[in-house]
Structure 1
Amino acid sequence: MKKGIIILGSSNSFGNTHKIVSYIAEKTNYPIIDLKTKHIAEFDYNFNNKDDDFLPIIRDIADNYNLIIFATPVYWYAMSGILKTFFDRISDCLKIEKDTGRKLRGKNMAVISCGSDDILKAGFHMPFIESAKYLGMTYTSDVHSWIENENIPETVKQKLDNFVTTIL
């Protein structure tokens, strides 16, 4: 089994995406990092924010996990802003934290999206796929999910169970 971690990038720590991520975590025993509970500043060309929570988090991920699952609600047809900020900060690993950036090579990336319905617009996964390529990671899989009446529908549970099979 791959040692994985889930990065939850939602503005709502206990919203629909959290429900989906909790379902996956229960099946995989992967820990969840809730970015909403962390202080991660936007990318800064002068690296004045290097003392926030980003570098310790990315170092831990690079040192201890071989699968990173990014989980995001679909906001305006794209990943959440909080997750985009996390991705932008990976640039730190190309400039001031190069050893950590090199450790990302060969790791696996997967994506969980959660929207208001079952339709996901084409192109949603492109930033993840291209980032994985650029970093020398393998983009393994993705799954789109949604909630109905505050619950995970059975059709979504089946999709999530298939996703778990692909990442384990």
Structure 2
Amino acid sequence: MKKGIIILGSSNSNGDTYKAASFVSQQMNYSIIDLKTKNIAEFDYEFKNRNDDFHPLINEVVSQYDLIVFATPVYWYTMSGILKTFLDRISDCLKIEKDVGRKLRGMEMAVLSCGSDKQLKDGFHMPFVETSKYLGMNYIGDVHCWIENNNLPHLVETKLGDFINQIQ
């Protein structure tokens, strides 16, 4: 089995997206990194934010894992702001941390989204797919979830099981 990590990008560390990510985490024995617990500044063209948590985190990810599962709620038809900031900071790996950026090449990426709607609008996954292509990563799948009565519905658990089979 691939060694993977789930990067949770939610404003609510224990919210619906966490519930879905935890299901995958338990089935695959993947750790979850909660971006809300990290201090990651926005991308800066002058790279004055090098002392935040981004560089140690991305170094850990590229050196220890084969697969990144990005877990995000759907906010205003797109990924969360905290996850977008993390993805923006990958630009650091193309400009000043090029050795780290090269290690992303060949890694795999997948996306778990969670929202109040049972269907995503067209185009939601495009930033992930195109980022994966640009970085030389392999985009291997995605799944969309929702919560009912504070629990994962059986249909969502089935979808998550299919997702797990797809990415392992």
Letter of the structure 1 residue corresponding to residue 164 of structure 2: V
CA distance in 1, matches of 2:37, 2:148: 26
Q: Which residue of 2 aligns with 1:87?
A: 87
Q: Which residue of 2 aligns with 1:29?
A: 29
In the TM superposition, 1:76-115 aligns within 5 A as 76-115=76-115
Q: Which residue of 1 aligns with 2:138?
A: 138
Identical aligned pairs, as a percentage?
Answer: 67
Matched, 1:43 2:8: no
TM-score by length of 1: 0.99
Q: Which residue of 2 aligns with 1:2?
A: 2
CA distance in 1, matches of 2:44, 2:117: 35
Q: Which residue of 1 aligns with 2:70?
A: 70
Deviations 1:114-153 (A, max 9, x none): 0102110000000000000000000000000000010000
Matched, 1:12 2:19: no
Gaps of 5+ in 2: none
CA distance in 1, matches of 2:71, 2:147: 15
Letter of the structure 2 residue corresponding to residue 148 of structure 1: E
Gaps of 5+ in 1: none
Letter of the structure 2 residue corresponding to residue 74 of structure 1: V
CA distance in 1, matches of 2:118, 2:41: 32
CA distance in 2, matches of 1:101, 1:36: 23
CA distance in 1, matches of 2:6, 2:56: 16
